[in-house]
Structure formats: C-alpha cells, structure tokens
Chains A and B, each alone.
Chain A
C-alpha cells in the first residue's frame, strides 16, 4: 500500500507545519495582530535587555544625583541632553527607570500568571475529570474566591504582611509577595475555563479508549485531556498577564507594591503623582503611557487569539 497514491509528501517540519497553519495565516492577514505582536516583542526585548540598553543603572545610588531631580525631557526648554526622558524626583534617569520598571512589571505579570495557570490547571482538571463531590467542592471554593475582588484580597494580605513583619522585610520580599498574592487570587479564572473544556473533552471517545487501555487517571488527565484544552489556556493567559500587570500597578500606586528603590511602572506612576500639579508631568505620564500601551497590545493579542482559536469560527 505504501506506493499507492495515498503516499503523501515527506513529513513537513514543525516550522513548515506552523507556517501552513490557520493560526499563522490569520496572523499574516491581520495588521492589528502584527503590530501588537511587534510592540509586545519590543517590550520583551527592552525588558530583557534593560541592563545593557539603559544609559544609567537606577538601582545604583552612586549614579543618582539629587541635584538632577525633576529635569524635564530633553525636548523641553529646560531639558538636559543627558536625560532623554527627564529625571524623577530623586534625580534618576526616567528612561533607565522605565526600562527597569517594565522588566519588573513583566516579570511579576508573567510569574503571577504562571502560578495562576498552575493552580488553575491542576484544580480545573481535577474538578472536571473526577466530577461529583470533588467537583462541587472545588468549584464552590472558586466561587467563594471569585466573590472577593482580587484587589481587596491583595490589599488586605499585603497590608497585614507589611504591618506584621515591618516595611523593610516587605521591601525585600515585595516582588515574591506580589506574585503570590496576584497568582493565588486569580486561579478560579483558569480553573473554571479548564473545567468547562474538560467536561466537553471527557465525553469524547478517545478518553474512553484511554480508559479501556487501563491508563491511570493522572495519565489520562495530563497526557490526553490537557493538550486538548490548551487553546483556551493560551487565550486567557494573554489577558491574564495584562490583568496581573494592571493589578500590580494598582497595588504599587496604593503604596502596597514595589518599593521606590526598585520601582515597577505602577510605583513610578505613583511616585510622580505628587509632582504632577507642580508641573513635573513626565514622571507620571510617560510610565503611564508605557503601561497603557503594554496592556493594550496584550489585550489586542488576546482578543485576536480568541477569535482565531474559537472552534465555532474555525475547527482544528
């Protein structure tokens, strides 16, 4: 049978398959997606390369001079050639601080989403596949968790932590705490989405076939069902990273996020807010724009991906 007309071309490589896929094709014809992706990649490169790209090290106090404080961007009349985007109230170069801040914001966003995804996938898969009482119990937990707003939980936890263990310890652990709080507060988003897909997948015959083979529960859950629920996971992940960055920025703005010595975009906005009415708009506005654009492109990418991977619009 091997040399009949059934014989297909030699197996295409993974890259070739990706290039022929519906996913790549719709990316090629969608300008918004291309632009968003380009901007997002730029952000990632800038964030990763911050130590190489930024003219100053904002964490190094020896490079900071208080006399340079509140210098406007270089295109303004009072601007200084050395500081392209001006300086903040402590005399740090805004450009460098923003690059480092983007790095902090993205790290927190991505790590928090990884934690959310881990918890959500494990809980959602278990609830959906095991079903019955386990399902009811886990989903009631999710409902309870969802009935508290993320911000409320985060504010309470962070404020209590700060009050109990002191500000200094808090500043050391700020990034880990933010990741933990945002990660734990948002797992139900994942758990619910995954449970819904698992409920649909587990009725399919390939799951029965796996059970008839005698495979264990864990193997069926993680090797057979999980790969078939990946598209919704991908979609919510992009939106959730944007949400996590926003949450982090809001918490930092409220003074519960990253400390001034290691500013994220949110704490930069917050620290500049006091000076905005005295004319130093750039300390707040420039990181604000950077943050808004980052969140916007991630949401646009998420929307595009949801449309592309929607099985009602495209099956495969």
Chain B
C-alpha cells in the first residue's frame, strides 16, 4: 500500500462528466405528452484514486478515450472535477480559484502532446520562455532573467542564440524541447506530461525521453506521465496505472506489472505489445468493442469483454484491492482467486 506521507499529489474518487446535450433549450424534450429535461453525459473519469509519490514517474496507460488525458488536465486544474478531490502535499487544490492556485502553478507544470500547437506561433522562443519566469519572479533583474532562461535552454539542449526565432522555424523534437524548457523554467517539483512524445518520430522520442529522465535526476522532479506506449512505460516508469473506460484497473510497480499482470485487461494489453518472436501462443483476443462512455456498463466496466466475468462482475463495481507485493487490482476475479 502506498504511504500517504510521502505522496506529492493525491487524487481521491475523481469523477469527470462532460455534458453532450447542448444548452438548456436543446435539453428540453417532448416525451409522452410532457416536457422533460434530458441530459446526457460522457463519463470520462469514474472514481479514480491515485497517489503520486515524491520522486517517482507514475505512468498512466490505456487506450484512446479511456480518460488518461482528462485525469492529467483535471490534476492541472484545466478542468474542474465533477466530484472528488485533488490535493497537493495534503492541501486540496481542485476547488481553489485562479489567484489562490498561483503558488501551485509554479510547482506543477505540464508538457503537452502536440509540439506544433503548444507554442504560441506569434512569440519568439525567448518571449515564450521569458514570460512565465518574469510572471512568477517579478523581482528578477534583466540579467538574472536572461541567465535563468539561458540556463534552462542549455539544460534542454537548445542554443540560447536561437531565442529570437519563432516556433515554426524548429522541428518537432526541438519544439518539444522548448516546451519542456518552458515547463522547467519556473522550477517546478511536479510535471504532468500528457503524451509528450507520441507526436514525435521514433528517433526523437528517445532523445526527449532521456532529456526528461535527466531533468528528473538533476532537478528532483516527480512525473505523472500519460502515454499509450508500453515500451516507453517499461523504460521510464517507476509505477504504472492502467486505465480502462475512466476507471483504474491496476496500479503496480513497473517491474511487477510487466512480470506478472493481474487484471485481465492488463494481460490483454501487455500481450498486444509487438515482439520480435512472432509465434505467441498467449496472445489474448478481446471480444467486442470498448463500450460507449455515455452509457456505462453496470458493475465492472470491463465485464462485457472479460473472459472471466461472472454474475458478480455484472452487478458490483470492483474496488482497488491491495495485494501482497504492493500492487493494487480492481477485479473480483483476482480478489476471489479464480484468475
């Protein structure tokens, strides 16, 4: 079980729903002779609880649309949770207004997925990097400011003499470095990285990943790393959280998860990693499609596709159960010992 004392960020029973039925007038429907108000929601996150421990790199994996990015954006305060709490060092932050959040903005930063959209096209690199430093440290002199920015640029391998250039003059990998530099410029402790390398080509991915690992070591950072690339997880992550349809299936250390996946979904996911030897007898084919997050399945969200599902799985939502090796699994089958 995780020790809450050294956890940096705590996420408790987080829910996030998005309304998809438009404004008030669109919601009013005529049913059976009566006017009724109907609202439909996408249930993006359904009761996720996570602890990010100081100094670790917690990877969140899952397929497209499972709510990984929504978790990241809710933690950063870009979205307000529908229910649940987000705390930073024990202080609740999800209900603070912009002004009260300001001290946390300096400590929590985010790296975005698309390096082509995450830099303002009308600002030079220097302006992009200078603005946050100046904003959070208004007392710095011009020389200190410049030194600080040059130091950050050096640390991500961007030459300070490129500062007067605009983002479109750089390649994707260079832009992502600049994006990382922007996040590092305010000296954060915690970085949420939302698929930071999925838009880069493979040769650049390793560079950026190594850069992030170096930064973690030299600046004592904690990462919440959202990805769908399991090879990256194995290389980068301290612990892994597997998500499916807005819920957490399994949370384990990287070593344990790859050696011994418990949850049926995790097993299927890991067996789908392409490997050099082609004859894999244990390749798990899941039946059907991911259900729609608008009408969630009852009970375990995975029961419709799970080969081990029984009546209990259809009725009861499984909770995360801690196991002997410190992993946590949300599965009735694992709990009952039948898987």
Residue positions of A touching B, CB distance < 8 A:
1-2, 6-8, 11, 136, 204-206, 208-216, 223-224, 227-228, 316
Task: Pick the contact of B120: A1, A136, A211, A228 (CB < 8 A).
Answer: A228
- List B residues 58-107 near A (Cβ within 8 Å): 73, 76-78, 98, 101-102, 105-106
Contact A224 B120 (CB under 8 A): yes
Contact B118 A206 (CB under 8 A): yes
Contact A205 B105 (CB under 8 A): no
A residues less than 8 Å from B182 (CB atoms):
209
A residues less than 8 Å from B159 (CB atoms):
1-2, 6-7
State A32–B78 Cα separation when bound (angstroms).
48
B residues less than 8 Å from A136 (CB atoms):
23
Known contacts A6-B159, A11-B164: A212-B78 contact under CB 8 Å:
yes
B residues less than 8 Å from A204 (CB atoms):
117-118
State A3–B262 Cα separation when bound (angstroms).
51
Q: CB of B112 within 8 A of chain A? A: yes
Q: CB of B10 within 8 A of chain A? A: no
> What are the 7 A-B residue pairs with the smallest beta carbon separation, nearest first?
A214-B105, A205-B118, A227-B122, A205-B112, A206-B120, A205-B117, A204-B117
State A214–B77 Cα separation when bound (angstroms).
10
Contact B105 A208 (CB under 8 A): no
Contact A214 B121 (CB under 8 A): no
B168 and chain A: residue at smallest CB distance: A316
Q: CB of B53 within 8 A of chain A? A: no
Interface size on B, residues (CB 8 A): 38
State A208–B76 Cα separation when bound (angstroms).
10
Contact B162 A213 (CB under 8 A): no
Contact A214 B102 (CB under 8 A): yes
State A212–B183 Cα separation when bound (angstroms).
9
B residues less than 8 Å from A209 (CB atoms):
110, 112, 118-119, 179, 182
A residues less than 8 Å from B117 (CB atoms):
204-206
Min CB gap B224→A, angstroms? 13
B73 and chain A: residue at smallest CB distance: A208
State A11–B126 Cα separation when bound (angstroms).
13
Min CB gap B161→A, angstroms? 7
Contact A212 B110 (CB under 8 A): yes
- List B residues 164-213 near A (Cβ within 8 Å): 164-165, 168-169, 179, 182, 186
B186 and chain A: residue at smallest CB distance: A213
Q: CB of B114 within 8 A of chain A? A: yes
Min CB gap A183→B, angstroms? 27
Min CB gap B126→A, angstroms? 11
B133 and chain A: residue at smallest CB distance: A213
Question: Besides the contacts A209-B112, A209-B118, what 14 more A-B pairs have beta carbons closer than 8 Å?
Answer: A2-B161, A11-B164, A204-B117, A206-B120, A209-B110, A213-B136, A214-B98, A214-B101, A214-B135, A215-B131, A223-B131, A224-B123, A227-B120, A228-B122
Contact A1 B157 (CB under 8 A): yes
B residues less than 8 Å from A206 (CB atoms):
117-121
State A204–B78 Cα separation when bound (angstroms).
13
A residues less than 8 Å from B169 (CB atoms):
8
A223 and chain B: residue at smallest CB distance: B131
A residues less than 8 Å from B135 (CB atoms):
213-215
A-contact 0/1 string along B205-229, CB 8 Å cutoff? 0000000000000000000000000
Q: CB of B55 within 8 A of chain A? A: no
Contact A213 B121 (CB under 8 A): no
B residues less than 8 Å from A205 (CB atoms):
112-114, 117-118
B residues less than 8 Å from A216 (CB atoms):
98
A209 and chain B: residue at smallest CB distance: B118
A residues less than 8 Å from B110 (CB atoms):
208-209, 212
State A205–B165 Cα separation when bound (angstroms).
20
A212 and chain B: residue at smallest CB distance: B110
A2 and chain B: residue at smallest CB distance: B159
State A212–B182 Cα separation when bound (angstroms).
11
A residues less than 8 Å from B123 (CB atoms):
224, 227
Q: CB of B328 within 8 A of chain A? A: no
- List B residues 120-163 near A (Cβ within 8 Å): 120-123, 131-132, 135-136, 157, 159, 161-162
Known contacts A213-B186, A215-B135: A208-B120 contact under CB 8 Å:
no
Min CB gap B316→A, angstroms? 38
15 A–B contacts from the bound complex (CB under 8 Å):
A7-B161, A8-B162, A8-B165, A136-B23, A205-B112, A205-B113, A205-B114, A206-B118, A209-B179, A213-B131, A223-B131, A224-B120, A224-B123, A228-B121, A316-B168
State A209–B167 Cα separation when bound (angstroms).
15
A residues less than 8 Å from B108 (CB atoms):
212
B residues less than 8 Å from A1 (CB atoms):
157, 159
A residues less than 8 Å from B136 (CB atoms):
213-214
State A228–B167 Cα separation when bound (angstroms).
13
Min CB gap B121→A, angstroms? 6
Q: CB of B254 within 8 A of chain A? A: no
State A11–B161 Cα separation when bound (angstroms).
9
Min CB gap B335→A, angstroms? 38
Q: With a 10 A CB-CB cut-off, give which of B106, B114, B120, B161 has the most chain A CB atoms.
A: B120
Min CB gap A278→B, angstroms? 58
A residues less than 8 Å from B78 (CB atoms):
208, 211-212
